[in-house]
Amino acid sequence: MRYIATFTLIISLLGGISLPVFAQGADVSPTLFVESMPSDNPKYRRMVYVRYLSGASYKAYNRREFNLATSATSEQNVRKCANGSASSLRDIRAFEKAEKRRAQSGQVPEYAAFCIKSIPNWEAKNKDVFLDPIFEGMPYVAP
């Protein structure tokens, strides 16, 4: 496989052809368990935990700063995400609309959890499509 990839890379550089499908890396999302909840920091209304099922967890108060964190997520919820179905984009967008209404009316954020996995075209497009609605309404940087 290494020789095929090297050969096709050389050919593409010389002749401008693209790599065959089998030599390209798969652009598929990792399995993520994402939780939105009221913030534990008084400077922020809401926070988001992002847990990679293959490893680390991160806590975010805004869209730019993700800190390693120990998620309080129950292992039962993680197993449910790993073995169950993924959250639909429709569910994520419904959360975005409901959260916007809660924020505008001064209500406390509600807990919401999403399982994101096996989404094709992840880095090229769908990462933003699936994650932006979850982070909508959060500041871009720390105050």
Asked if the structure places residue 86 within a domain, the reply is yes
pLDDT tens-digit profile, the chain (143 residues)? 433 333 333 333 334 333 344 434 589 999 999 999 999 999 999 999 999 998 889 999 999 999 999 867 788 888 999 999 999 999 999 999 999 999 999 999 999 999 999 999 999 999 999 999 999 999 988 77
Domain count, the chain: 1
CA atoms of 114 and 135, how far apart (whole Å): 12
Residue 44 lies in a domain: yes
pLDDT of residue 142: 76
Assigned domain for 13 exists: no
The answer as to whether 18 is a domain residue is no
Locate tokens 């505008």: which residue? 104
Q: Which domain holds residue 55?
A: 25-135
Q: Model-level pTM?
A: 0.78
In a domain, 14, yes or no: no
